[in-house]
Amino acid sequence: MKSITIHGIDKETEKLIQKRAKSEGTSVNKTVKGLLAKALGTDKNKQDNQEEYLDLFGIWTEDDEKSFFEAIKDLEQVHPEDWK
């Protein structure tokens, strides 16, 4: 694998990387590699966050669907005079 050196990292970023590494119990090197992989979308350990949003998911019944489309029926109609 190729090695990359990053020069001039500011103190705050360095502290945050070290803090993250310590909290995850990993090396600074592994932490930086993980952060880069996540930022670039190449993370092999992608987390599925679907459970965080389950309260927003739902399935409509046929009655729910009919009621919704009945309520927005007027919005489906284009009135040419509105576009003058």
Q: Does pLDDT of 16 surpass 80? A: yes
Q: Which residue has the higher pLDDT, 83 or 31?
A: 31
25-49 CB burial, b ≥16 within 10 A, e <16: eeeeeebbebeeeeeeeeeeeeeee
pLDDT at 29: 95
DSSP code for 75: G
pLDDT in tens, 23-77: 999 999 999 999 998 889 888 776 677 777 877 887 888 999 999 999 999 888 8
Q: What angle do CA 41, 26, 1 make, to 5 degrees?
A: 55
pLDDT at 52: 78
Q: Are 68 and 77 in contact, with CB atoms under 8 Å apart?
A: no
Q: Are 68 and 60 in contact, with CB atoms under 8 Å apart?
A: yes
